[in-house]
Structure 1
Amino acid sequence: MESVKKWFMSSQAFLSMLLVQIFATGMQLLSRIILVQGSFIFALTTYRYIVAAVSIAPFALYFERGLAKKFNWRILLWLFINALVGMTMSLGLFYFGLRDTTATYSVNFLNLIPICTFLISIMLRIENLKIETLSGKAKCLGTIACVGGALATSLYKGKEFYIGQHHNHYVDKIVTATHKTHMLHGTFFLIGSCCSYTTWFIMQVKLVKVFPLRYWGTMLSCIMAAIQSAVIGVFINSSKESWRLEWNLQLITILYSGVLATAATFCLLSWAITIKGPTYPSMFNPLTLVFVAILEAIVLGEPLRVGTLLGMILIILGLYYFLWGKRNEMPHMSQTNVAASELSISMTDDATVHKSTTTIASSSSPYESIP
């Protein structure tokens, strides 16, 4: 019975992370278009997080009603930093990088997040490498293959071919606009975004211990991120034209990114990190590159290249090896991760939540050393 329970949880985590990458794919394509058209970045992020907070509020009030802890300065500080690093900085910097470079170039930087998260997790002793074991070798091989696939897609072009529309004047217009780039500036923005995302993944291990309520944590972080983005945005550009909303693709992008790419995604990510650790969700990021390439080829008529296909194969194989290694080390999970898993499951049961929360707070943890 216990093995069936673990298999069910692993399957849920896998499907949840696939769904996250599908949401991210849609956001990449929509954001690419509206940023080229001149949308103000901090207006987009502010409205996006407002929509996300409104979307997640019913879940927080229903599933975690009466469970919110008494807020103190420590919890508010952690939520503020969580919003600043994982939402305001990471997304804002990525949008600036996406605007100043190209969509394909920007997406490839997302594939640096798994390797950065994996290495930092090892340094902080959150993740055990265990290179002498078969599972440790599989995780290392999977990480190298994913990064190699991303590099192959970026550096090796090869012959190109089409599987969708060959000529699309609207797409040609977008591509022409994106070629007016500032690659050096954009690269620094994307590196900063990558570092912010990596820090956010690591922070979740500590945040779930300080404030284990997933929906409340996401909603409050979105509210704080909206305030942070609004303050920064008004300081940069306070003109009404930049903040005006109209019935166009920009509004669709804001609603889509707020409901799916933020509210749903952050809840799924925090849940997966709780039961699988900070490295597991980040290993799925390379799949966005695969989905974007396929969707662009079919819907927008972009060409597929041999280098892209080679990169896809390496990414999929690398992801398989890493997940295989993670699955085989699951029997050796620490007591903290087991307790965290029990907490995540019991969130829907009012009678057992307080017991699980107490178990988390009282268990000894290697994460205590994280400030």
Structure 2
Amino acid sequence: MWGTTVTAVMVSTEFLEVGLNTVNKTAMNRGLSDFVLVLYSNILAIFILAPCIFIFYRKRTPPLLTWSSICKIFLLGVLSYAGQICTYIGLRYGSPTLASAMADLSPAFTFIFSIISRMEKLDLGIKSSQAKSLGTLVSISGALVVTLYKGLPLTSAPSTNRLLDELLLIPQSNWIIGGLFLASHSVIFAIILNVQTWIIRGYPAEMIVTLICSIFVSILSSLVSLIVEKDPNAWRLGLNMELIAVVYTAAFAVAFRSVVHKWALRRKGPIYVAMFKPLGMVIALAMGVTLLGDTLYLGSLLGAAIIAIGFYAVIWGQSQEERLVEDAEIYDSERSSAKDPLLPDRGLVV
């Protein structure tokens, strides 16, 4: 039951994330500063999360917050700030499609860091590990096919490969700068997933961790923004696309998505969460064809099928590992219940 629920929530999150980069890119083109976006969105997220936490823990006691947990969350805040800045600077110099393409690198980096940090066990002699390893590679390959290979048109519309078309419009210097920042975000995002898993398994309170992390990001962002952003007009927001971008980023990216990721990480692990990034490319492709009338090409359809196969392999491997854990717990429980009933009284024997 939980496996299906987590998957459904993660897919829904990817649907909401498809439009995030487009909204932010539009707002940046109209003058929104990336440093101001990070600051305002995290401050607004604090006011969104605080009442939610009050309601959620009104009749229950939250876990005890220790200094060790606070230090770990501060590390997460530093990484989160770096990741957000890299994303928005990369988006300013690049494009939403380039951002989606670079995000497809996240599963590979997450897989590497998860093995190094021992968040995931790699035993190629076990079918579940084989499925997760091959599934990760297959999904990344599928994402590259969607991004770089066009092929024959399957539907008629005056559109071309969106990434290649956008790269022709972006100056080469800007494309390189944007690509480097977006690739850096993929590396930071992979580290963040592992750090979040490390934190949330020791302190299972997703909303509280997200709130404290947003506070740390707001403090760091205010210090940096006051030094970097000298234009007073950059701090002003009107009732326009800039305000929409701040609210959308705060409510979805900083608050909702962060809580959902932590919740999924606690139950499934970092590789599982990272595997939804290539799926976002398929969702964007499907919405472009159905809603915007984009041309469906053979390369896009082939890449989407490859991503689906790789995604299913990872999900299957994850379910096999969870089944092994459940079987082990049942076996231990049966052994405990089958012990000699006189065993507790042995302390009375002289």
Band of TM-score, shorter chain: 0.7 to 0.9
| Structure 2: distance between partners of 1:272 and 1:208 | 10
Deviation at 1:305? Answer: 3.3
State which of 5, 23, 47 in structure 1 corresponds to 2:40: 47
State the partner residue of 1:190: 182
State which of 7, 10, 15 in structure 1 corresponds to 2:3: 10
Deviation at 1:158? Answer: 2.5
Whether 2:320 is the aligned partner of 1:328: answer yes
Whether 2:269 is the aligned partner of 1:269: answer no
Deviation at 1:81? Answer: 1.4
| Structure 1: distance between partners of 2:42 and 2:312 | 33
| Structure 1: distance between partners of 2:211 and 2:83 | 17
| Structure 2: distance between partners of 1:288 and 1:281 | 12
State the partner residue of 1:319: 311
Mean CA deviation greater in 175-184 or 282-291: 175-184
| Structure 1: distance between partners of 2:171 and 2:32 | 16
State the partner residue of 1:215: 207
State the partner residue of 2:120: 127
Check the 8 A contact 2:139/2:310 in 1, yes or no.
yes
State the partner residue of 1:365: none
Letter aligned with residue 170 of structure 2: H
| Structure 1: distance between partners of 2:262 and 2:299 | 33
Whether 2:246 is the aligned partner of 1:254: answer yes
| Structure 1: distance between partners of 2:151 and 2:168 | 24
TM-aligned CA distance change 1:317 to 1:97, over 3 Å: same
Residues 290-369 of structure 1: matches in 2 within 5 Å?
290-333=282-325
| Structure 2: distance between partners of 1:312 and 1:195 | 24
| Structure 1: distance between partners of 2:210 and 2:122 | 30
| Structure 2: distance between partners of 1:210 and 1:126 | 13
Identity rate of aligned residues, in percent?
Answer: 26
Partner deviation per Cα, 1:276-295 (whole Å, 9 max, x = no partner): 11211111111111122232
State which of 2, 13, 35 in structure 2 corresponds to 1:20: 13
Q: RMSD of the alignment, in Å? A: 2.7
Deviation at 1:67? Answer: 3.5
| Structure 1: distance between partners of 2:181 and 2:297 | 27
State the partner residue of 1:179: 170
State the partner residue of 2:70: 76
State the partner residue of 1:140: 133
Deviation at 1:203? Answer: 0.5
State the partner residue of 1:356: none
Letter aligned with residue 217 of structure 1: V
| Structure 2: distance between partners of 1:258 and 1:14 | 23
Secondary structure, counterpart of 1:200 in structure 2:
helix
Check the 8 A contact 1:163/1:297 in 2, yes or no.
no
Whether 2:230 is the aligned partner of 1:238: answer yes
Check the 8 A contact 1:40/1:242 in 2, yes or no.
yes
Deviation at 1:176? Answer: 9.7
State the partner residue of 1:114: 107
Deviation at 1:257? Answer: 1.8
Check the 8 A contact 2:28/2:242 in 1, yes or no.
no
Residues 66-105 of structure 1: matches in 2 within 5 Å?
67-68=61-62, 73-85=67-79, 87-105=80-98
Structure 2: 5+ residue stretches without partners: 331-350
Whether 2:139 is the aligned partner of 1:149: answer no
Partner deviation per Cα, 1:196-224 (whole Å, 9 max, x = no partner): 10111010222124433211111111122
Letter aligned with residue 204 of structure 2: P
Partner deviation per Cα, 1:176-207 (whole Å, 9 max, x = no partner): 99624512212221121111101110102221
| Structure 2: distance between partners of 1:137 and 1:176 | 36
Check the 8 A contact 1:64/1:213 in 2, yes or no.
no
Q: TM-score, normalised by structure 1?
A: 0.79
Structure 1: 5+ residue stretches without partners: 1-7, 339-371
| Structure 2: distance between partners of 1:230 and 1:325 | 43
| Count of residue pairs the alignment pairs up | 323
State the partner residue of 1:31: 24
| Structure 2: distance between partners of 1:175 and 1:35 | 17
TM-aligned CA distance change 1:115 to 1:187, over 3 Å: same
Check the 8 A contact 1:296/1:302 in 2, yes or no.
yes
Check the 8 A contact 1:99/1:178 in 2, yes or no.
no
| Structure 1: distance between partners of 2:231 and 2:31 | 14
Mean CA deviation greater in 14-23 or 28-37: 28-37
Deviation at 1:76? Answer: 2.7
Secondary structure, counterpart of 2:121 in structure 1:
coil
